Each structure stands twice: as C-alpha cells, then as structure tokens.
Amino acid sequence: MKNIYFDTKVLDQHVVTSFDLSEELLMENAASGLETCIKKHTNANSFIIIVVGSGNNGADGLALARRLIGKYNVNIYMPKEPKSELAKLQLLRLRKMNAKFIDKLFLCDIVVDCLFGSGFKGELDLYNQQLITNMNNIARFNIACDIPSGIDSNGYISSVAFRADITVSMGALKLSYFSDIAKDYIGDIFEIDLGVSKYFYEKDSKYKLLVESDFNPPKREYKNTHKGNFGHCCVIAGEKEGASILSALSAFAFGSGLVSIIGDVKNIPYHIMNSQLLPKNCNSIAFGMGLGDRINKYNFDFLGDIPSVVDADMFYNPDLESIINKGNLVLTPHIKEFASLLQITNFGNFDIKYIIQNRISLAEEFSSKYKNIVLLLKGANTLIAQDGNIYINHFGCNNLAKGGSGDVLSGMIASLLSQKYSLLDAAITASLGHSFASRNIKTSYGLEPLDLIDEIKKF
C-alpha cells in the first residue's frame, strides 16, 4: 500500500523545518522531476509550451523552463504576472536568459500545465475555462504539474479541467487524484521526491492506495485436505435467480470448497448445491443480489454470527440499520445504493451529485460510525472503508460496467470470508482480483460475467 494525503503542504513544511531545507530547494527538485518526465516523452527538436500561473505552481514551471532552455524549443505562456516571491525570483532568472514568452498558444509537441496546482478551489472564470480548453487541444502529449488545473482538492471539476497524459506527483500522492471524476484527467502518475526520500517525507496516513502486491489470493498449502477445509459459502437467492447463480459460481471459482444457493432456483449448475435452509456448516453468506420481491421473505436472524456480504436490493430494505448494527458485514453498494443506505441509516439525505463530489469523505465518516462493518463503495475507483480508514483500488476497467459484474464480486468476497479471511482482507483481495480479471479481457465493451469467473480461476 502507498500513503495518500488530502494536503501535502504539511509534509513540505515538515522537511523544510526538520532538515534545514528551503522551499526553493524543494522547487528545484520539483523542476528536476518534471524535466525527467519530459525527457521520456520528447526529443531535442520538440516544441514545448509551459503554461504558468502566478503562484508557486507557476514558479515550478518557470524553474522547469530554465532547466530546458537550450535543450528544447521552449515557450512560456504566462497570462498573469507572478504573485509569489518564488515565482518572481524564477521569472527574474528567466529574463536574464532571454527566455521566450508567447502571447498565444499554438500547436506543439508537449504542453506542461503549471497553471493552478493543488491550491485551486472555487470556480474557473471564463478566461481560464477557455485557456484550459485550448491547452487540451494543442499538443500530442499533456503533462500536469502536481495536479491538472481545474481539479480541486476534493477531486471535483466544476466546469473544465486539463486532461493530462501524465500527472507529476510532487513528493506524495494526493487524494484528489482518486475521485471518480478525476480518473479521466489524471492519466498516469509519475511520482518524484522533493529532496528527501519518502521515508523522511511521508507520515502514516489513513488514506491508502492499493498496489498489486496487496492482492492475496487463496493458496492451498497442504496436500492432505478435503473440501470442508476451504469453507462452505451460501448465496441467498432472490427474484432474479441469475444473480445468485453468478455469485455462487464466482465463490466456487475463488476457492470455497462448498457452495450452496439457498432458495427456490431452477437450473443450478451441477457443482452448486441447493437448500431451503442455511446448512449448519455455513461459513459465509452473500445476499441481496437480485433479491427483488423476495426482500420480505427472509428475517436475517442469521446475521452477526456468520460473516456476510450485503449487496444490491438490500440497500433499500427499511430494516437495514438493524441489520448493519449486528456487524460482521461487508457492504457493497454503488453510488445510488449508497444514497439509500445513508438515508435509511439516518446518516443523511444526500442527492447523487453531492455524494459523487464527496464520496471519499462520506465513506470515511460512515465507516467511522459503523466500526464493525467494511464498506466497499463501487465506482471508477473502488473505495474500501473500515473504521475511518480508506483503501483505494484504482485498477478497475470500464469494461466492468456490465450487469452481473457486481454479483461476481459479491461471490468473490463471500468465498474469501468462507476461507477465514477477515472482512477487510476479503474485500481488498476480492476487489483487486475482480479488477485484475477485468484487465485480462481486452475489449472495453465485450466483458460478460462468466468471462470474469473464468479469469479468477487463473490467479
């Protein structure tokens, strides 16, 4: 896992005061990192335009220009005079080098966005909206310094934003990179140090970015085993029987030794069992998928003792709060279901737009209130929250936007719960496995749930 921060200014200040560094030295390291990134994507004859603002993000761009002049055809677009002292100093140095300043944008190889950075908030005026729109259309490759201009500290975009191919992250990862809205604008993230290593720069954070090594699929280490050693996962059937079958198939594929569907279901696959009651040896439960009109058929007295996954139609159950209070649950809503969950639990009545803008903070607050559950909030970046800590899975693909994909995920989580994973570890590993499986399906449109199930057998 990697640490993520809402605001890295406190980290900058810590290294300045603790190690007798200067802000100017940090800026020089920022410019050096930007230069390294540019070297990977250009050649000596390339035209580069650096768009600089009046603050320290603009100063980073001016320092970058000083390092590039003489190596490339460098042009600086500066719509306003600098305000910060460091920006004024960097501009003075450039003037002495006879740097080339331009008064309009033109086609180029690379445009570097040093307009606003992470300090941006509020609304863009019409001039900057048009400027950013033009920046998005002049280059074959776009690089953002710190964060694409137009994205605020919550990852929200009010009107337009710079669409980066690469965002150069200064010192540490920022939470604003991982909003769903920002995912189409951040591009790849190129991390650089600002004069000290991450060991000295970073502090532990309650926000974590999941990495590939966090994936911990089941491993059968002993030869002398039987099916009962690997758990009995039970999927409660609903009105839409296909959802329960998909969950059951994925649970079986992800390692459960036994899988049963509970309820009246036709055409169950031969290796999946069927029962009207929960068997005594049940180790985990998944329910809610395709539940529909059968929502009042079950009393859910089994909850609390058996680790369970709650999905889909259960988030509209008026008794949901009493169910959640029993704990030992992984909740897997999408945004609309999350809105219903927040309302039923008296957490708040929020419209969808507000939740989209504040999904990270809402997930954090909700999980802080309900400490005995894990929340997995689906989206372009999946959020996994427990006791106020947030784990972000950014590996998912847009081909997962298909009916049945969530049913597969619920079965995967329940499978790991039956194999004695903790709630959090089951949610993290299943979410990552779900994403990695989707990446093995090469089209953006052709994924089917059974394709995912075939892929998760191969880890």
pLDDT of residue 405: 97
- The answer to whether the beta carbons of residues 272 and 262 sit under 8 Å apart is no
Residue 248 has pLDDT above 90, yes or no: yes
pLDDT in tens, 202-214: 999 999 999 999 9
pLDDT of residue 258: 98
DSSP assignment of 64-100: HHHHHBTTBEEEEE-SS---SHHHHHHHHHHHHTT--
| Beta strands 207-209 and 166-170, pairing class | unpaired
Distances, alpha carbon 351 to alpha carbons 156, 295, 342, 343, 359, in Å: 16, 25, 11, 10, 12
Which has the closest alpha carbon to 90: 112, 114, 111? 114
pLDDT of residue 304: 79
What values do phi and psi take at 392, rounded to 5?
Answer: -110, 125
pLDDT in tens, 230-243: 999 999 998 899 99
Q: What percent of the chain has pLDDT over 70?
A: 99
Q: Tell me, which fold does domain 213-456 have in CATH?
A: UDP-N-acetylmuramoyl-L-alanine:D-glutamate ligase (3.40.1190)
pLDDT in tens, 438-452: 999 989 999 999 999
Domains of the chain: which residue ranges?
Answer: 2-204, 213-456
Residue 269 has pLDDT above 80, yes or no: yes
pLDDT in tens, 377-411: 999 999 999 999 999 999 999 999 999 999 999 99
pLDDT of residue 118: 83
pLDDT of residue 457: 93
Residue 417 has pLDDT above 70, yes or no: yes
User: Distance between CA 158 and CA 231 in Å, rounded?
Assistant: 48
Which has the closest alpha carbon to 390: 213, 167, 178? 178
Confidence band, pLDDT 50/70/90 cuts, at residue 45:
confident
Residue 379, token pair as written in the block: 């989206």
Please give the average per-residue pLDDT across 362-380, as a whole number: 97
Please give the average per-residue pLDDT across 11-18, as a whole number: 94
pLDDT in tens, 165-214: 999 999 999 999 999 999 999 999 999 999 999 999 999 999 999 999 99
User: Distance between CA 109 and CA 236 in Å, rounded?
Assistant: 56
Confidence band, pLDDT 50/70/90 cuts, at residue 117:
confident
Residue 298 has pLDDT above 90, yes or no: no
Residue 186, token pair as written in the block: 């951040």
- The answer to whether the beta carbons of residues 118 and 174 sit under 8 Å apart is yes
User: Distance between CA 178 and CA 354 in Å, rounded?
Assistant: 16
Tell me which architecture the domain covering 2-204 has in CATH.
3-Layer(aba) Sandwich (3.40)
**Residues in Cβ contact with 300 at an 8 Å cutoff, skipping those fewer than 6 apart:** 287, 319, 323
User: Distance between CA 206 and CA 209 in Å, rounded?
Assistant: 10
Rg from Cα positions in the chain = 25
